[in-house]
Amino acid sequence: MKHARWLLLVVIAGTALVASSAAPTAVGIDTTALRNAVTVAGIMEHESALQAIANANGGTRAVGTPGYDASVDYVADLLEGAGYDVTEQAFTYSLFTDFTPPVFDPTSPNLDPYVNGFDEDFVTMEWSGSGDVTAALEPVGGIVIPSPGGSTSGCSAADFAGFTAGSIALIQRGSCSFRQKVTNAETAGATGVVIFNEGNDAPGDDRLGVVNGTLDPPATQASIPVIGTSFAVGEELLQEIEDEGAVEVHLKVDARLVTKESTNVIADTATGRTDRTVLLGGHLDSVPEGPGINDNGSGTATILEIALQMAELGVEPRNRVRFAFWGAEEEGLFGSQHYVDALSKSERKGIMLNLNLDMVGSPNFVRFVYDGDGSAFGVDGPSGSGTIEDVFTEYFAAQGLETEPTEFDGRSDYFAFINAGIPAGGLFTGAEGIKTVEEAAIYGGTAGDPYDPCYHQACDTFANVNTTAIDQMSDASAHAALLFAMTTSAVNGTDNASNKAKGNMEFKASLATK
């Protein structure tokens, strides 16, 4: 049946229709046909294909590998076959890279060298400068042991009062950005910086292990070497300084920028207002360690199946729908950032909203909806983001399904859109965070276990995807995509970045910013 007849926007009694004062609709939009067409079987067929691609290419679909190139071909070929206008948007980016292993070694007193590694003692902080220095380690003001959270160590110039130029600064993680701490240290004459974890109990955020951080923004190297350590390492060094009066360390970082290439896949509907483009996106790449069938094969497969079924049903959207598959997300959100940066001012204004699907099939899942209005976490997106949240939560409520808010913390591709003032929202079923007893009572699964025990690991395979989560989240995604595609109402964004969000997002991809 032609979509022009199928979607006459007639409300059928008894259908799962979501319409409220918050939803941007002047008339009822029945999304049943599309939701029925987007099936678990169809989505899992794409997941199986992505698994086969990884199997044939060293177990990964990471950017820069044949597995990623094959993933691009798979998605692009299907979209072109369905009649979409498909663009493969090539881009380059600068990847921060350790060229030789970093060194962090107390030389006086002569302790054992610390071990480099995320699961060990320390790592190089992204955008660290290079350098090889042996100097006294000097604590910076504001350190609190034990910490209740909110340490201000290194956040102001006053914290460096009396700091000895030429020393290596020992700074506690806390309330301000790592870049701010390092900039203050550079101004004070530090020759290196060691940032140790805060040591408090922060739900959903590791404040004990090694600080896996970035000095971005800005994406420029610092002038001195910077590393992040665990709380235990920082506490140990503070105790040594107190016991011995002084501690000297050898700190070495050999890091440079490497230019790399990748590709976004972008597919547009043939019809629809280009000044009200609905952008449904998710990242196509996996981490090098595994095939990424939940992260983010689940988002990729769901977006792809929605696109294919919209074409099969003959949907002619009132507002253009753009399906985007981002490259190099796992390396720093580079694909989506390039896309937004490349938009002209008028093109940017023409993006009505961004719906982001990143991990929607976690085995120990929770139905998370991004907190667009900031009511749960105090970090709201640009104007209109709350409307997106309402569309999702009201849809789930109509199905008798509970949801939980999740924070705009900067870990996924919504980041660039929010910073550009474009309304954003989406769905998420959880990554390395731990399911609570209360969540297990609502959603099932196992309290005390991660939402995805295989997050960023080789075991993120076809067997790692929860089809119940896929079923529920894909229906909600199809509903929201079609509702916004057919609405006659605007979803208000701004020309300016969401400054509140920019100032509070604590991650850039998987790396902490503060």
- Does 240 share its domain with 293? no
- Residue 120 is assigned to a structural domain of this protein: yes
Q: How confident is the model at residue 204 (pLDDT cuts 50, 70, 90)?
A: low
CA distance 379 to 102: 35
Q: How many domains does the chain fold into?
A: 2
Q: How confident is the model at residue 490 (pLDDT cuts 50, 70, 90)?
A: confident
- pLDDT, tens digit (0-9, with 9 covering 90-100), for 359-391: 999 999 999 999 999 999 988 899 999 999 999
- Does 74 share its domain with 107? no
- Residue 474 is assigned to a structural domain of this protein: yes
Q: Are 262 and 137 in contact (CB under 8 A)?
A: no
CA distance 228 to 209: 10
User: CA–CA distance from 455 to each of 126, 170, 318, 436 (Å)?
Assistant: 21, 31, 38, 18
- Residue 264 is assigned to a structural domain of this protein: no
- Does 108 share its domain with 227? yes
CA distance 251 to 62: 31
The mean pLDDT value for 195-219 works out to: 86
User: CA–CA distance from 380 to each of 359, 497, 513 (Å)?
Assistant: 21, 12, 18
Q: Which of 193, 224, 259 is the last residue of a domain?
A: 259
Domain hosting 467: range is 3-81+272-512
- Does 221 share its domain with 332? no
- Does 252 share its domain with 299? no
CA distance 511 to 315: 39
CA distance 10 to 17: 11
- pLDDT, tens digit (0-9, with 9 covering 90-100), for 49-69: 999 999 999 999 999 999 999
- Does 182 share its domain with 245? yes
Q: At residue 21, does pLDDT exceed 90? A: no
Active-site residue identified among 198, 236, 329, 331: 329
- Residue 288 is assigned to a structural domain of this protein: yes
- Residue 89 is assigned to a structural domain of this protein: no
- pLDDT, tens digit (0-9, with 9 covering 90-100), for 249-273: 999 999 999 999 999 999 999 999 9
- Residue 349 is assigned to a structural domain of this protein: yes
Q: Which of 205, 228, 259 is the last residue of a domain?
A: 259
- Residue 41 is assigned to a structural domain of this protein: yes
Q: Which has the closest alpha carbon to 477: 391, 404, 364? A: 391
- pLDDT, tens digit (0-9, with 9 covering 90-100), for 178-190: 999 999 999 999 9
329 is catalytic: yes
The mean pLDDT value for 300-323 works out to: 98
pLDDT for 1 equals 36
Q: Which CATH number do you get for residue 160?
A: 3.50.30.30
- Does 407 share its domain with 446? yes
Higher pLDDT, 507 or 122: 122
- Tell me how crowded residue 446 is: count the other CB atoms within 10 A of its CB: 12
Higher pLDDT, 171 or 203: 171
CA distance 32 to 27: 15
- Does 182 share its domain with 308? no
Q: Which of 214, 238, 259 is the last residue of a domain?
A: 259
Q: Which two tokens stand for residue 345?
A: 């001012």
Q: Which two tokens stand for residue 238?
A: 């503070």
Task: Express as a percent the part of the chain with pLDDT over 70.
Answer: 91
Label the pairing between strands 319-326 and 273-283: parallel
Report the SS3 class of residue 252: strand
pLDDT for 70 equals 98
Provide the 8-state DSSP code for 62: B
- Does 171 share its domain with 283? no
- Does 20 share its domain with 117? no
Q: At residue 13, does pLDDT exceed 60? A: no
- Does 382 share its domain with 483? yes
The mean pLDDT value for 133-150 works out to: 95
- Residue 86 is assigned to a structural domain of this protein: no
Q: Which CATH number do you get for residue 501?
A: 3.40.630.10
pLDDT for 217 equals 79
Residue 492 burial class via C-beta count within 10 angstroms: exposed 0-12, middle 13-18, buried 19 and up = middle
The mean pLDDT value for 79-98 works out to: 96
- pLDDT, tens digit (0-9, with 9 covering 90-100), for 429-448: 999 999 999 999 999 999 99
408 Cβ contact list (under 8 Å, min separation 6): 370, 371, 372, 377, 379, 380, 381, 414, 418, 424, 501, 505
Provide the 8-state DSSP code for 157: G
pLDDT for 502 equals 56
- Does 240 share its domain with 353? no
